[in-house]
Structure formats: C-alpha cells, structure tokens
Structure 1
Amino acid sequence: KYADIFVTIFNDKDQQKKALKGLKNATKFIRGELGKDLKLRYVPNIEFMIDEDLEHQYKLLKIITEIDDQQLNLKKDKNNE
C-alpha cells in the first residue's frame, strides 16, 4: 500500500528542495492520476525522495573526467617540451 519514488534532480540543493516540495504538494493529484490509469485495487500512498546514489555516481564520474583531462594536459605539456 506504500510506494517510495526516488527522483534525481541535477541542480543545487535549494532547487532539489523546491522540486521535492512541489512533488510532495502534488501527491494527491498524482495518486488520482495513477488511480485512473492503473487498474489497481488500492492506489498506494506515495512518498518522493531524492535518489542520492545517482547524484553520487555523477560526482564520481565528474572527478574521474577531471583527472583524465589533467593527465592528458600533462602528456601534451611533456610532448611540447
């Protein structure tokens, strides 16, 4: 009877909070739409949460990319000497 919905919002923390608040404010409407579209005996109570795993993966990928760029620049500098 319960469903946790994890969302990813690629903005700063303030924007994430605003978006999450908007989703939470729209919960009743979203449940109504789910009830219309899905033929379920019960429409679950839904709760929206920030999916921090994907955000963490994005940050790690960004760090790895920066390291690769730095190594590439070092190789170019050595070749130019």
Structure 2
Amino acid sequence: MANRRNSRLSGEMQRVISEIIRTELKDPRLSELTSVTDVHVTEDLKFAKVFISVYGDTKSTLDALQSAKGFIRREIGKRIKMRIIPELIFEKDDSIEKGIYMSSLINKVIEEEASRKVEDESDDE
C-alpha cells in the first residue's frame, strides 16, 4: 500500500513542480525548455529526487532550481496536503540523450548490415 501511495505522491509532485517551474519562477538562468521528467520520493517522505530534462544550458538551470528550492518546497506545501514536505534534490535526466545515442547505434548497425548484404549479393554475381 505504501508503494502505491508513494507512486501517486511522486506523480502529483511531478505535476505540481512542473507547474511551479513553468508559471511561478522568473529566474533568467532558467531555460524555457525545462521539463520535470520524473520524481522519486523516498519511503519515509524525507527526500524527493526531481529529474530535470533541459534543452540548453543545464548547469545554469540546475543552479536556478537549487536557489529556488525553498520557494518550490513552500509552494508544494500549499498545493499538496502533506504533513512532511520532502527535501528536493534536483538532478539532470540524461535518459533522452542516452536514448538518442542508442538509436543512432542501432541505425549504424542496420546500415552496416544492409551494406554487407549488398556486397554479398554483388559477390554472388
């Protein structure tokens, strides 16, 4: 039961943090194309890892979020009824880059296989 509650809380926090970043934060270091890809809340609800995907300068965006951590946490407390508001830990989510890299590797192997097949057919003639 706690696991289901934890996943529901993570989803709700992801939605709320995304909304706060999009509408409330006015820091110029914050990239326009910043999205919250996932939130993992610990079992004791003390910490929440917030995974951020950024198109642009990742370091300055993470710095801006780090400096606004108290404000974001206070807003979470206003919008979600919780006894304990988790401490936020912002981390860069590089799963999109890893996916693009894996896709390029797969495409490279497919192209090599196709060129090998063409060479084999020309050798048969």
Structure 1 length-normalised TM: 0.68
RMSD: 2.7
Alpha-carbon distance between aligned partners in 1 of 2:48 and 2:69, rounded to the nearest angstrom: 12
Matches within 5 A, 1:1-80: 1-11=46-56, 15-61=57-103, 67=108
Runs of 4+ that moved beyond 6 A: none
CA contact (8 A) 1:8 1:55 kept: no
Match of 1:77 in 2: none
Which protein has greater RCO, CA pairs closer than 8 Å, 6+ apart? 1
Q: 1:23 to 1:62 in 2, by over 3 A?
A: farther
The alignment covers a number of residue pairs equal to 73
**Percent of residue pairs bearing the same amino acid type:** 30
Alpha-carbon distance between aligned partners in 2 of 1:18 and 1:6, rounded to the nearest angstrom: 15
